[in-house]
Structure 1
């Protein structure tokens, strides 16, 4: 049982690292976009950010499945820390999805790339004016996104390591 638990723990941690690595490009883009002026460079950065989404979501799913398996293997489902971690994870994902994704979709639309509106993929439209694009880029909040994401994950990591309740 010990070997199985450690193996699943390795998988859980590995995919957690892979999730962070695959998400790092989007985080860097969120900060860099505010400084960009050229339409083609903005488009390239947005495409770079989107290019890692498949790996990001697969690694997130694998990490979650590993965490669920660890919950059963370690008999943690009756503890408060695991439920607190799950609630925090949901809040992080919803918060990041609401704040970051909506902003990126608005920017993609403004620079003439395909974008999502609600749950629908929309084709590219004519780019907005340079002034509108600049204003939209400045409205992004990468520091808030970082605080939600990194801060939330740090709390979850602390709960997993210290299991305080």
Structure 2
């Protein structure tokens, strides 16, 4: 049963990375996008309900299967599993705070519906082309990619080599 739980954990991780890849592509593409209509299209691609459903569903499955696997394998007495969990939480929080703030500002500037914290706002007037261009140019895509890839690389190393 333990192997099945690890299988579900790895499969959920692949599903999470596959769907999160959409947001990564959008973030990287927006950095060089200067056409507001195309920027809106890229952001709509990322914000589709089906992407969010798979993204957060697979993240939940990843967490639950990892926690259950930790109990089944008697890993909770070792430091690597705790550090992996803490790193995952740090990566999620950092990426959410950095990404959601900036991309909400871009959505607002483009005249799209956006969030400010937990509160949603309807589409409104677009900002000037210069303001939109400045926001798109400052998109934190590389920072987010380094945080995400680096965090996952360290977590993978901890899980495979169990150094402590």
CA-to-aligned-CA distance 1:106-143 (integer Å, 9 cap, x gap): 11111011000110111111000000000001111211
**Unmatched tracts of structure 1, length 5 or more:** none
TM-score normalised by length of structure 2: 0.96
Work out whether 1:115 is the aligned partner of 2:104: no
**Unmatched tracts of structure 2, length 5 or more:** none
User: Alpha-carbon deviation of 1:160?
Assistant: 0.5
User: Alpha-carbon deviation of 1:60?
Assistant: 0.3
Q: Secondary structure at the match of 1:30?
A: helix
Work out whether 1:145 is the aligned partner of 2:144: yes
Work out whether 1:130 is the aligned partner of 2:129: yes
Q: Which whole-Å CA distance do the structure 1 matches of 2:145 and 2:82 have between them?
A: 23
Which one scores higher on RCO, CA 8 angstroms, separation ≥ 6?
2
CA-to-aligned-CA distance 1:10-65 (integer Å, 9 cap, x gap): 10000000000000011011111122122221111001111212210110000000
Q: 2:43 — aligned with what? A: 46
The alignment of Structure 1 onto Structure 2 pairs a total of residues equal to: 162
User: Alpha-carbon deviation of 1:151?
Assistant: 0.4
RMSD: 0.8
Whether contact under 8 Å (2:95, 2:148) holds in the other structure is yes
Moved over 4 A (4+): none
